[in-house]
Amino acid sequence: MNATYSNERGTRPDCAAGIRTLVIKVDRPAAPAPVGPAIICLEGARLNAVAAMLNSLDLDGRPQDNRIVVAMSGGVDSSVTAALLKAEGYDVVGVTLQLYDHGEATHRRGSCCAGQDIHDARLVAERMGIPHYVLDYESRFKEAVIDRFAESYVAGETPVPCVECNQAIKFRDLLDTARELGARALATGHYVASRRLPGGGAALFRAREEERDQSYFLFATTREQLDFLRFPLGDNTKAETRELARRFDLPVADKHDSQDICFVPTGRYTEVIERLLPGAAEPGDIVDLCGRVLGRHGGIIHFTVGQRRGLGIAAGEPLYVVRLDAAARRVVVGPREALATRRMRLRDVNWLGDGTIDDALAAGRLDVFVKVRSTRPPQPAWLARGPDGIVVDLVDGEEGVAPGQACVFYDAAEGQARVLGGGFIKSAASTVDVVAARDARVDSAATAARG
């Protein structure tokens, strides 16, 4: 396919020859649209500030000699990312992913990657005068993210679809497309920082603004991917980003942030699961920690670890979902203290620290700080290798830890700590389970001693 695009430097061959039908070119006016006063009036201190940011992406050569693909979701963050790089002189190409089309979702506040967002990304690209492409990834997204999300819930897990999307779509398929477009880097609007290491390569760090930090969702990024990725907003606050959007006169400056799970238009994820997997909501028993039946439920997909409301049973004390037994279709409930998790076994661990994870654990356990939910601060923990994989012991314990969630490692509890990697929780043992196992070992040893 010998498509062409037009920009302020004239018409030149597009590097998307290998994309074929995957790339859908968005119609653009013959002449670039006005880029707004914030770009054309870079005078005085503002001009000096932009000049100081030249080569901010740590690439060889002048900015104008480096093509950068920007993943444009249609929101304010990715739009500002594109505008900043354009103002610095980089050869910016905007790419938007069409991931789903649920009709209602395209008009729902807080949705992303749907029709309205594609339209907004196109408007921003036109305002800046940069080429813009829409890539149809609907089938790939359904297979790699939506279907796996449904299967995970049916298995009694609590999945994190944003991690799957970054891992399987944005930083793999989109990254490959960026290379085919001749880009030197793929830039996104994520609030996370990437910095070069003295010995080569890049490391991932938490964002400057703790409330906006998205490193939890990026732990599965590989070292090779980090070499190609750039995150220009990692040292920005959200307020600063919105102010930049206004200065660049972007039409999305005051657009609401995306919320919840992007492909669940109503916010009720069980409807999506039952539509994809009919019969997924099979009834079963609600039991206490001793296995006594307390009631019935309409499917474990309606429950998650830590849940208190909506159990549909009467008890003399507050009860919480402690774990889900998918094989037996049982919801296990107990008192709040039974939620305290002390040990986790992980799967699919990705190590981003120095050397290999075996090097890091050569002397035994490693002191780290971990997050088991994106909204919780890092907690002190020990990382070690167990008989069947990586094990994390939480110093103070955590409540509501569920299989399927991510466990992300950091080298510090506060500030822009370095991301050391992470994995998905395969199983979690509560304080009650750990104590019971310890007591059982003690009893067994005592019995053996009595002989």
Give the model confidence (pLDDT) of 312-361 as tens digits.
Answer: 888 888 999 999 999 999 999 999 999 999 999 999 999 999 999 999 99
- Is 131 within 8 Å of 90 (Cβ atoms)? no
**Tens digit of each residue's pLDDT (9 = 90 or more) over 276-316:** 999 899 999 999 999 999 999 999 999 999 999 889 888 88
pLDDT band at 44 (very low <50, low <70, confident <90, very high): very low
Backbone angles phi, psi at 260, to 5 degrees: 55, -155
Active-site residue (options: 41, 262, 290, 407): 262
State how far the Cα of 161 lies from the Cα of 215, in Å rounded to an integer: 14
Pairing of strands 419-430, 406-410: antiparallel
Annotated catalytic, 407?
no
Annotated catalytic, 113?
no
Pairing of strands 389-398, 379-386: antiparallel
188 HSE (CA, 13 A, CB side): 21
**Average per-residue pLDDT for the chain:** 83
Active-site residue (options: 112, 113, 162, 165): 165
Query: What's the token pair of residue 1?
Result: 């396919």
pLDDT band at 48 (very low <50, low <70, confident <90, very high): very low
Examine the pLDDT at 431 and tell me if it is beyond 80: no
Which residues lie closer than 8 Å to 273 by C-beta, 6 or more apart? 149, 150, 153, 154, 280, 281, 301
pLDDT band at 104 (very low <50, low <70, confident <90, very high): very low
